[in-house]
Amino acid sequence: MTVNLQSNAIRSPGVQYLAIALKNNETLTSLNFAYNEIGNRGVQYLADALKENTTLKQLDLCRNQIYNQGAEYLVDVLLTNHTLTQVNVDNNSIDDEVLQNLITGLENNRIQ
């Protein structure tokens, strides 16, 4: 199942509530959060949920004012979440080194 929440001005407080639902969701495989200005805090909420979620495979976080810290939350969660295989972080402010770490984590998930 896919949920598209693109361009809904959700921001990080809204993501906090959605992340609670995501933790135990067993049907969602694709989530589009693009253009919601969730920032690093919003990514942290999602990453915490993804530590427990075992079904989400695709996550779109394009244009969300995410910086290195937010991307690092995703890198960390990929050490334990092996279901997530695609993350779109286009048009955020993430350094190449952090982006490469994210790519490596996703590639490892695809191999497993």
Model confidence at 111, in pLDDT bands (50, 70, 90)?
confident
The CATH T-level fold of domain 2-111 is 3.80.10
C-alpha span between 104 and 46 (Å, rounded): 19
Non-local (6+) Cβ contacts of 9 within 8 A are 36, 37
Interacting residues of 13 by C-beta distance below 8 A, sequence separation 6+ = none
Question: What are 58-85's pLDDT values in tens digits?
Answer: 999 999 999 999 999 999 999 999 999 9
Q: Is the confidence at residue 112, as pLDDT, over 90?
A: no
For the chain, domain boundaries: 2-111
Contact present, 50 and 56 (Cβ < 8 Å): yes
Q: What is the pLDDT of residue 92?
A: 98
Q: What is the mean pLDDT of the chain?
A: 96
The mean pLDDT of 96-100, rounded to a whole number, is: 97
pLDDT for 2-48, tens place per residue?
Answer: 999 999 999 999 999 999 999 999 999 999 999 999 999 999 999 99
Separation of CA 63 from chain center: 12
- Rounded Cα gap, residues 21 and 67, in angstroms: 25
80, two tokens: 């334990």
Mean pLDDT of 77-100: 96
For residue 86, what pLDDT is reported?
96
